[in-house]
Amino acid sequence: MPENGQSVAVAPARLEQIERAVVDLFVRLAEVAGLPRSVGEIYGCLFICADPVPMDALMERLHLSKGAVSQGLRLLRSFGAVRTVYVPGDRRDHFTAERELRKLVSGYLQEKVVPHLRSGDERLKVIRALVAETNGGARKVLQERVAQLSRWHRRAEQIIPLLLRVLQQ
Amino acid sequence: MPENGQSVAVAPARLEQIERAVVDLFVRLAEVAGLPRSVGEIYGCLFICADPVPMDALMERLHLSKGAVSQGLRLLRSFGAVRTVYVPGDRRDHFTAERELRKLVSGYLQEKVVPHLRSGDERLKVIRALVAETNGGARKVLQERVAQLSRWHRRAEQIIPLLLRVLQQ
DNA sequence: CAGTTTGTTCATTCTGTAGTGAACAAACTG
DNA sequence: CAGTTTGTTCACTACAGAATGAACAAACTG
């Protein structure tokens, strides 16, 4: 049935197959990281490609809309997971994946967990104040619980630099 | 307007306020961990409560349906984040939060990330096989990329036990 | 400077998952 | 053992967030 308008296999079929498998892998990873599927697709594609890729190529290869690719790239750049590359003689921007694990994790943590740690800290302060104003039988238990929460929080803050140090090399 | 059927403030208002603040904190945490909001609510409530709590109390306090609480508790038990407690003279099961950070993190990793690492491993094997069958200019670059992915994977596997060791105490 | 290319924004649509609540099963109780 | 309590399951609904695509802005080109 040659009624298909798409080109079926322009480039080596095997290469496409590999690209698909890698993109698939990154889609799962995005899932775990709580990022949109399309972001995983885009990063995966950039990761495996030998050379920097322009937006329209991403749209075409991944069957994503212009908007999705534009927004996905923005997010990835905000993490420092993707860099914009200048290609002489081409008006379009090209994009490459940042492939250093430490930088990726660092960017992700900075954008997606550090803010939560901060707001958590403030919430804890509020809770501690509320407990301080309490009296009665519950007081003792509450203080114990809140102390535990504070320890958790401190641990979380300790672990981030530790993680980055381990990832350093 | 006393037309409200609900009791407005049975227990000390301050205690309710604290409970709400703690539940709120855990809702955010659930968000980060990619768990349903209701799961955060349930765990938060159990965390702050002095004594084990039965299902209907959770429904009432959190305004959640029976189904949501039942399912939430199931998930939390699967993580080892909640234990069922027998209370003499009461037919209902009661539940307590497991408050040891290491156990919590361990359970979460075991259920939510270890499986992904496994499937990732298999996917990587497939990709390596595909690359091995490739020839041509792309080969070299592909091998480099896949090697990098493999290193990432190994790092991830190393980090889990390290994390648990740090959390140990 | 008219026309084209490139990229962003945002109102709208689509989709997957969380939550509901009724039906059901199981276990108690008197 | 009829009736009650307790807890699970699952078909359905509601909703948040992802993806679309058209309108727009900006930058280039001849």
Confidence of residue B5 (pLDDT cuts 50, 70, 90): very low
Q: What is the dihedral angle through the alpha carbons of A163, B163, A112, A26, rounded to the nearest 10 degrees?
A: 90
Provide mean pLDDT across the span A86-109: 96
Task: Decide if pLDDT at A6 tops 70.
Answer: no
Q: What is the largest CA-CA distance in chain B?
A: 81
Task: Decide if pLDDT at A144 tops 90.
Answer: yes
What was the pLDDT predicted at B89? 92
3-state secondary structure A113-130: CHHHHHHHHHHHHHHHHH
Pairwise CA distance, residues B140 & B131, whole Å: 9
CATH number 1.10.10.10 is the correct assignment for the domain at B13-99 = yes
What residue type is assigned to position A145 of the chain? Answer: R
**Chain A residue with the nearest C-alpha to that of B142:** A48
Provide mean pLDDT across the span A1-9: 38
What digits encode the pLDDT tens for the residues A39-64?
Answer: 999 999 999 999 999 999 999 999 99
Task: Decide if pLDDT at A3 tops 50.
Answer: no
What was the pLDDT predicted at B7? 37
A122-126 CB contacts, 8 Å cutoff, 24+ apart: A123/B21, A123/B24, A123/B25, A123/B28, A124/A149, A124/A150, A124/A153, A124/B25, A126/B21
3-state secondary structure of A1: coil
User: Average pLDDT over chain B, rounded to whole?
Assistant: 92
Cβ within 7 Å of strand C: which of B 49-68?
63-68
3-state secondary structure chain B: CCCCCCCCCCCCHHHHHHHHHHHHHHHHHHHHHCCCHHHHHHHHHHHHCCCCEEHHHHHHHHCCCHHHHHHHHHHHHHCCCEEEECCCCCCCCEEEECCCHHHHHHHHHHHHCHHHHHHHHHHHHHHHHHHHHCCCCHHHHHHHHHHHHHHHHHHHHHHHHHHHHHHHC
- List the beta bridge partners of residue A54: A94
What digits encode the pLDDT tens for the residues B28-85?
Answer: 999 999 999 999 999 999 999 999 999 999 999 999 999 999 999 999 999 999 999 9
- Assigned CATH for A13-98: 1.10.10.10
Of B22, B99, B155, the CB nearest to A101: B155
In chain A, % of residues over pLDDT 70: 92
Residue carrying the six token digits 């997606």: A112
Task: Decide which of A158 and B5 is more confident.
Answer: A158
In chain A, % of residues over pLDDT 90: 86
Q: What is the largest CA-CA distance in chain A?
A: 80
Confidence of residue A5 (pLDDT cuts 50, 70, 90): very low
Cβ within 7 Å of strand C: which of B 101-160?
none
For A:107-166, CB contacts with B below 8 A are 112-113, 116, 119-120, 123-124, 126-127, 130-131, 133-134, 136, 138, 141-142, 145, 148-149, 151-152, 155, 158-159, 162-163, 166
B28/A contact by beta carbon, under 8 A? yes
What was the pLDDT predicted at B12? 67
Task: Decide if pLDDT at B2 tops 70.
Answer: no
Task: Decide if pLDDT at A4 tops 50.
Answer: no
Task: Confirm whether any atom of chain C, the nucleic acid strand, is less than 7 Å from CB of B91.
Answer: yes
Asked if A94 contacts A85 with a C-beta cutoff of 8 angstroms, the reply is yes
Pairwise CA distance, residues A19 & A90, whole Å: 24
Question: A27: which DSSP letter?
Answer: H
Task: Decide if pLDDT at A13 tops 60.
Answer: yes
From A19-33, A124-138, A149-163, B42-56, the region with the lowest mean pLDDT? A124-138
